[in-house]
Amino acid sequence: MPDTEKQSVELIDAALVRRLIATQYPQWAHLTVEPVLPGGWDNRTFRLGDRMSVRLPSAVAYVAQVEKEHKWLPVLAPHLPLPIPVPIVKGAPASDYPWPWSVYAWLEGEPAQEGLIDNEDAFARSVASFLVDLHRVDVTDAPMAGLHNFYRGGSLSVYDGETRRALELLAGCIDTASALEVWGAAMGSTWSNPNVWVHGDLACGNLLVKDGKLHAVIDFGSSAVGDPACDLVIAWTMLGEESRHIFRSALALDDATWARGRGWALWKALITLAKLDESQRKVDKSNQVIQRILADQ
C-alpha cells in the first residue's frame, strides 16, 4: 500500500482508474476508461466515457494543484474567451492511490502542432486574446507564485544557478556568450505592476486545436498570480517570426517583460538540451528554440 509521503506513484494505469471510479463513483463504473496520449508528466489523464476525463497527480509535488484547480477554475472560466477544464468531482485518496484526484468535463480538440493549425497568425491572436482576458480576472485571494507552481509568475532568479550550470555544460554547442546576454537582460528587471493571473505552462500540449483553430486551454496546475512573462514562452517555442510579432503586438507588455519572457524560454530550453548527449543536442527542438531566442534578442 502506498505511503502518503511517497514522492511518486510508479504505476498509474487504466486499471487503477477503473478501481477508483468503481469504488468512489459507482454510477460511472460502466463507462470505458482509456489513457489520453501523449501522456502528461505532472499528471496522468484518462478519458472516462465520452464526456469526462480523469486526472491524477503523478507525484507528491503536484498534489496541491488538485485543490487549486477545483477552487479557481470555476472562477476563471466565465471570464475567458475559450473553454477551460470544468471540475465535476474530486476523488479521495485510496489504498492503492495516496492523493486526491479529479474528474473533469471532456474538452474536444487535439494538442496544437504544425499541420493542425490552419492559420498561425490567427492562432497567435487567439492565444494573445486568451491571455489578455486572463490578465483582467480579479486576483483577490488568488495563490501567489511559489513552490506549488514551480515559481511560474515569480522571479527567474530561482533558476539562475541551474541556468548557468546548463550554459557551462553547453559551451561549444551553442553561442553561450549571446545566451548569457539574454539571461542577464532577463535577470535585470522585475515585474512592478499589479499581479495578474498566469497560466504557467502554455505549451503546445495544453492548447487544444479543433477544426484548425485554437479551441480550448487545459492544465492550469502551474497557474498563479504574478508576472505574466512566463506565459510568453510560446512566442519562441511555437510561433514563427511574423506570428510572434502579431502575438507581441496584441499584448500590452513592456520590453522588460519580453526580456524576462525570453529568459523563461531560454531556461527551459537550456536545461532540456543540457540533459542530452552531443549527437542529440544538434537536432533537438530545444536547440532550435535557443536559436530563435538569440536571433530575436
Q: Tell me the pLDDT tens digit for each residue of 68-108.
A: 999 999 999 999 999 999 999 999 999 999 999 999 999 99
Answer yes or no: are the C-beta atoms of 230 and 198 closer than 8 Å.
yes
What domains can be seen in the chain, in order of their start residue? 14-106 (3.30.200.20), 111-296 (3.90.1200.10)
Burial group, residue 161, by CB count within 10 angstroms (0-12, 13-18, 19+): exposed
Per-residue pLDDT averaged across 154-177, rounded? 97
Cis, bond preceding 111 (omega within 30 deg of 0): no
Per-residue pLDDT averaged across 196-200, rounded? 98
How many angstroms separate the CA atoms of 263 and 290, rounded? 10
Answer yes or no: are the C-beta atoms of 57 and 42 closer than 8 Å.
yes
Quick one: pLDDT at residue 38? 78
How many angstroms separate the CA atoms of 163 and 180, rounded? 9
Per-residue pLDDT averaged across 178-195, rounded? 97
Per-residue pLDDT averaged across 111-123, rounded? 96
Quick one: pLDDT at residue 41? 76
Q: What cell does 176 get?
A: 553561450
Phi-psi region of 268 (alpha: psi -120 to 50; beta: other; left: phi over 0): alpha
- Residue with the three cell numbers 482508474: 17
Cα-based distances in Å from 290 to 123, 136, 202, 282: 22, 31, 17, 12
Closest Cα partner for 236 from 295, 169, 177, 156?
295
Whole-structure pTM value: 0.93
Per-residue pLDDT averaged across 199-225, rounded? 97
Answer yes or no: are the C-beta atoms of 65 and 90 closer than 8 Å.
no
Answer yes or no: are the C-beta atoms of 220 and 140 closer than 8 Å.
no
Q: Does residue 130 register a pLDDT over 80?
A: yes
